Amino acid sequence: MANSESGQPLAVVPQVYGALWRGLLGPLRTIIQPAAAVIVALACGAGLLAFNGYEARAVIDVMVLGVFQDTRSIAEILLKATPLILIGVGLCVAFRCSIWNIGAEGQFYAGAIAATAVGVSFDGLTAWIYVPLVMLAGALAGAAWAAIAGLLKVYFRASEIVTTIMLNYIAIIMTSYLVTGPLRDAPAAYPQSARLVQEAWMPRILPPTRLHIGILVALALAVVMYVFLFRSTRGYALRVVGISPDAARYAGISVPRNIMLSICLSGSMAGLAGAFEIAGVTRRLFQSISPGYGFEGIAVALLANNNPIGAVFSGLLFAILRSGSELMQITAQVPQVLVLVIQGIVILSVVGFAVLRIPSMRPSE
């Protein structure tokens, strides 16, 4: 009030607010759209529950309270978030290069197979060597599996959307073959591989929960990939190729090399996720080792607007949704079909909002 005599400081206030508002608007916009996507999806989900005779409020309460119940349930969320973040971060790199890799699921399986093969094969290695070796095997296998689609695109202009989807089937069916044939653990009743050698297991970081070092690696890689994409020269070249191949050629940037780089990086992250799932959680290879992480990773990347740091948060969100839907089934007795429908709505809503935002995803005329 003392200042009101001069009149000036008060007159400045709207301007300050204006600047603040403008400063906030940019970041706000990137938050508002994903938030709107989630709210729309939850509203649709609640409507569906109510329509089917469930008490929507109660079910959502169970879900929200349940997932954050105790250390164990939070560790389970992080455990589910690990592959989603890894795959999502990798896909951010591919999508920034306009490489529409739909094959993270297959690359995850390829990584899981390689990790199993390495993890059951050696005796007498220390964990200091064995653990990184298993991770490397998974990452290399994922990269190699993705490279097939990359090479087909570079040399034959085959759409990576089609080839990566096809490669998913091959990897999944190959896994079935391996666990019922060459890699089958003879005494087991179910088709599964032998257990990994103990030194190959991922160290756990929060006993007695199952949480392992994978989540730390995933977070570190998200930061590394962010720096790579937005602060490094190679990342810059990759983004230029993704936006305008003609400008890239004009600037002397190799388009095929960046296509290979981006698809192999995303494949290696998915393969690494597969290795973590085997060596950190199941310790054996099964037929359906992935509950669709590879496909959900696409939504993770899109929700994050192909920003690796954002993919950490959207990966967590999808992990929470996953845990919540399990609780809906177990605690609130919502049938699985309905849970899947609600999950589907979440993903559709997220992708729908992403299409509004990313021009390159709009269908061309």
Partner 1 sequence: MAGKQLLLMDGIHKRFGPLIVSAGVTLDVEENEIHALLGENGAGKTVLMSILCGVLSPNEGQIVFKGRPLKLGSPREAIKHRIGMVHQHFMLVPNLTVAENYVLGQGSPFSMIRDMRAVHARILELSDRYGLDVEPDALVSSLSVGEQQRVEILKVLYHGIELLILDEPTAVLTPQETDRLLHLLRQLVADGKTVIFISHKLDEVMRVSDRVSVMRDAKVVRTVKTSETNARELARMMVGRDVLMDLPRAPLEPGRVVLSVEHLSCDSEAGLPALRDVSFEVRANEIVGIAGVSGNGQSELALALTGLLPVASGNVTLDGTQLAGLSSYEINQVPMAHIPEDRHRMGIVLPLPLTENVILQRFDKPPFSSRGLLDLNEITKQTRDLMRRFKVKASGPGDRIRNLSGGNQQKLVVGRELDRRFDFLLINQLTRGIDIGATELVMHKILEQRGAGKAILLISTELEELFTLSDRILVMYEGRLVGEIPPDRSRLEEIGLLMAGKSPLSAA
Listing DSSP states for 164-191 in one string gives HHHHHHHHHHHHHHHHHTTTB-TT-SSS
Residues, the chain, total?
365
Q: Which residues contact 137 (CB under 8 A, 6 or more apart)?
A: 111, 114, 115, 117, 118, 275
The residues, ordered by sequence, that sit 6+ positions from 197 with a Cβ below 8 Å of its Cβ are 119, 120, 122, 123, 125, 130
Burial of 204 (0-12, 13-18, 19+ CB in 10 A): middle
CB of 18 to partner 1, least distance (A): 15
**Given phi > 0 = left and psi -120 to 50 = alpha, else beta, which region is 157?**
left
Closest by CA position to 144, among listed 178, 111, 179, 105? 111
Alpha-carbon distance 15 to 294, whole Å? Answer: 48
**245 Rama sector, left if φ>0, alpha if ψ -120 to 50, beta otherwise:** alpha
Q: How far is the CB of 175 from partner 1 (least distance, A)?
A: 37
Minimum distance of partner 1 from residue 272's CB (angstroms): 22
Please report, as ranges, the residues that interact with partner 1 according to CB under 8 A.
Answer: 227, 231-234, 236-237, 239-240, 243-244, 246-247, 249-254, 359
Distance CA 193, CA 221 (A): 29
Contact 238, 306 (CB under 8 A): no
State the nearest-atom distance from the C-beta of 305 to partner 1, in Å: 12
CB of 223 to partner 1, least distance (A): 14
Shortest Å, Cβ 243 to partner 1: 5
Closest CA to 87 of 270, 277, 226: 270
**Shortest Å, Cβ 168 to partner 1:** 29
